C-alpha cells in the first residue's frame, strides 16, 4: 500500500510517464501469488486518479489492498 501511495503521488504531482514506469517496477518485483490481482487492478485506479479525483482513487486502492492481501 505504501508503494501504491508513492505511485499515485508521483503520477499526479509530477508526471504520468514517471508514474507508469514506477508502476511497472512495482508490478515486476511484487507479482506474487494473491498479490498479482491487486497490481493488475492498480492501472484502473491510476487512470481514475489522473482523470477524476486523486483522493477517491487513493481510498479505493486502500480498500482494494485490504481486501486482497491477508
Tens-of-pLDDT digits for all 70 residues of the chain? 456 666 666 555 555 555 555 555 555 555 555 555 555 566 666 666 666 556 666 666 666 555 554 4
Q: What are phi and psi of 31, to 5 degrees?
A: -85, 75
The helix (run of H) or strand (run of E) holding residue 28 is helix 16-29
What does the pLDDT read at residue 61?
A: 63
What does the pLDDT read at residue 55?
A: 63
What does the pLDDT read at residue 54?
A: 60
**Cα angle: 57, vertex 48, 54; to 5 degrees:** 45
What does the pLDDT read at residue 70?
A: 43
Measured CA to CA in angstroms, residue 45 lies from 34, 54, 60 at distances of 18, 9, 8
Amino acid at each position: 500500500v505504501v508503494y501504491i501511495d508513492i505511485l499515485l503521488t508521483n503520477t499526479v504531482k509530477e508526471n504520468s510517464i514517471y508514474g507508469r514506469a514506477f508502476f511497472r517496477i512495482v508490478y515486476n518485483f511484487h507479482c506474487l501469488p494473491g498479490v498479482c490481482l491487486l497490481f493488475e487492478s492498480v492501472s484502473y485506479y491510476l487512470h481514475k486518479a489522473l482523470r477524476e479525483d486523486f483522493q477517491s482513487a487513493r481510498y479505493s486502492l486502500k480498500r482494494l489492498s485490504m481486501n486482497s492481501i491477508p
